[in-house]
Amino acid sequence: MVTSERIFLCRDESSALLSDALHKSTHSQDAMDQLKVTKKGFYTKLVDISSYKIENLSITLQDSIPEDTVHETSLHKKYRNYFHIGAAIDGNSYRDSHAALWKEHFNAAVCENEMKWTALQPSEGNFQFGQANAMVNAARSNGMLVRGHVLVWFDQTPDWVFQSPYGGQASKQLILERIRTHVTRVMQEFKDRVYAWDVVNEAVVGYDANNQDVGEDLGTLARWGYRNSKLYQIAGEDHILEAFKAAREADPDAKLFYNDFWNYLDGKREFIISFVKKLKEQELIDGVGLQCHLNISPAKEKLSNQSAYQTVDNLEKEIKVYAALGLDVHITELDISIYTRDYTSDDQSRWYMGYDLNEDYQNRLAARYKDFFDMFRRNAGKIQNVTFWGIADDNTWLSEFPSGRPDHPLLFDKHLKPKRAFDAIMNFDR
């Protein structure tokens, strides 16, 4: 980008733009060398600029465009020097009344459900790419990066995966073959359009002394371990290894992620690291996805609830720990529920039934978003992508799951207007 007589190189400018900018400068001067340019997160390449002759031009290489050059109202443009800003879309939101907001404020996308195994291969060998292709192409044609979610997950995986064609349960070998076939076919389909994949999702849970899953009440927690899913029961931890191996082979250019929630719990994170390190040693993984389905504040009454540990400090720690292992960090599923985890979601006496959020909730949500985004920006060198799990409050999984309790967890309200939380994360000097 050329600004008067200065050139500012921004992290997401393409080499084409750079070449174009330099081309506009004529006349001779000392030849310059090469510049390392990253094009929209896909690859880094050296651009030979020695043939561009520059005279009377001051070139400033810096991380950010000065505040006085642009007044941004777009979320992703405001964050252009920090990280990509994504949103989960569904089969309607990318082309209905949410589309304008989506294109204005986000430069990354992920399908909320349309790339899960049930959607892409509902029966064996019957791949259905139509819906996902339409969504991915819409995102790409709007210049967005696309994350792929998700290749292997205990949930939304069809029953046939676990069944033998001869009756009874599939063997370990058959499960691993099916994982390989699914991962390979899906990644080849979206090659060059999906830059990062959640290869495996949510494979770790906490157990009590009787080996029962403790869920989110950590009062009886004895250890962390692999989730006792059908995938794990039949194929053990090899199902994870096989998924990553197949993914690396299917698209060596794609970034491969392990994605999970509650990474702010030290014990859970340490267990995740124990296998992520093994994958890293084999160069099979590039990063971790931190889901970040957060709450308006940590639990204050139920102190054994996992969310009691959901502090900005703990999230900052998890980001730093993973980054120190040489892993990319994506915030993959961000939203902030207006409820705490001190009571169950079916306690209707606690439901907030207003169509619009009142002052108190607006302010508390804005403060919580601000605190997290201040921290995300402090760690911008470690985080490459922050993706919201939805666009606006009229379409959020939190108002459906698990009880139908209305929630307002996103930056835009049910009228598709920005909430105070939006202003709170836009209000900073770059």
The minimum distance between CB 334 and ligand G3I, in angstroms, equals 11
From candidates 25, 38, 74, 113, binder to ligand G3I by CB under 6 A: 113
The minimum distance between CB 122 and ligand G3I, in angstroms, equals 11
- Binding of ligand G3I by 156 (CB under 6 A): yes
- Binding of ligand G3I by 112 (CB under 6 A): yes
The yes-or-no answer on residue 301 being catalytic is no
Judged by beta carbon, residue 8 or residue 388, the one nearer ligand G3I is 388
- Binding of ligand G3I by 333 (CB under 6 A): yes
Residue of 189, 202, 242, 318 marked active site = 202
The minimum distance between CB 401 and ligand G3I, in angstroms, equals 6
Return all residues near 333 (Cβ < 8 A) that are at least 6 apart.
Answer: 88, 261, 289, 291, 292, 293, 387, 389
- Binding of ligand G3I by 374 (CB under 6 A): no
- Residue 251, CA distances (Å) to 187, 189, 242, 248, 284 in order: 7, 10, 14, 6, 11
| Rounded distance between C-alpha atoms, residue 23 and residue 301, angstroms | 63
**Burial code of 19-51, b = ≥16 C-beta within 10 A, e = fewer?**
eebbeebeeeeeeeeeeebebbbeeeeebebee
Judged by beta carbon, residue 271 or residue 389, the one nearer ligand G3I is 389
- Binding of ligand G3I by 155 (CB under 6 A): yes
Q: Residue 265: what are its φ and ψ, rounded to 5°? A: -85, 120
Judged by beta carbon, residue 112 or residue 189, the one nearer ligand G3I is 112
How many residues in the shown chain lie near ligand G3I by CB under 6 A? Answer: 8
Tracing tokens 């299917």 back to the chain, one arrives at 250
- Binding of ligand G3I by 407 (CB under 6 A): no
- Binding of ligand G3I by 397 (CB under 6 A): yes
Please state the length of the chain: 430
Judged by beta carbon, residue 49 or residue 151, the one nearer ligand G3I is 151
The minimum distance between CB 90 and ligand G3I, in angstroms, equals 7
- Binding of ligand G3I by 291 (CB under 6 A): yes
The minimum distance between CB 183 and ligand G3I, in angstroms, equals 17
From the number of C-beta atoms within 10 Å of its C-beta (0-12, 13-18, 19+), residue 239 rates as buried
**Burial code of 358-395, b = ≥16 C-beta within 10 A, e = fewer?**
eeebbebbbebbbebbeebbebeebbbbbbbbbbbbbb
Phi-psi category of 415—alpha, beta or left, where left has phi over 0 and alpha has psi -120 to 50? alpha
The yes-or-no answer on residue 5 being catalytic is no
Cα within 13 Å of Cα(372), Cβ side: 25
> Mask 52-81, x = binds ligand G3I (CB under 6 A)?
------------------------------
The minimum distance between CB 427 and ligand G3I, in angstroms, equals 29
Phi-psi category of 256—alpha, beta or left, where left has phi over 0 and alpha has psi -120 to 50? beta
Amino acid at 146: V
The residues annotated with a catalytic role in the active site are 202, 333
Point out which residues bind ligand G3I (CB under 6 A). 112-113, 155-156, 201, 291, 333, 397
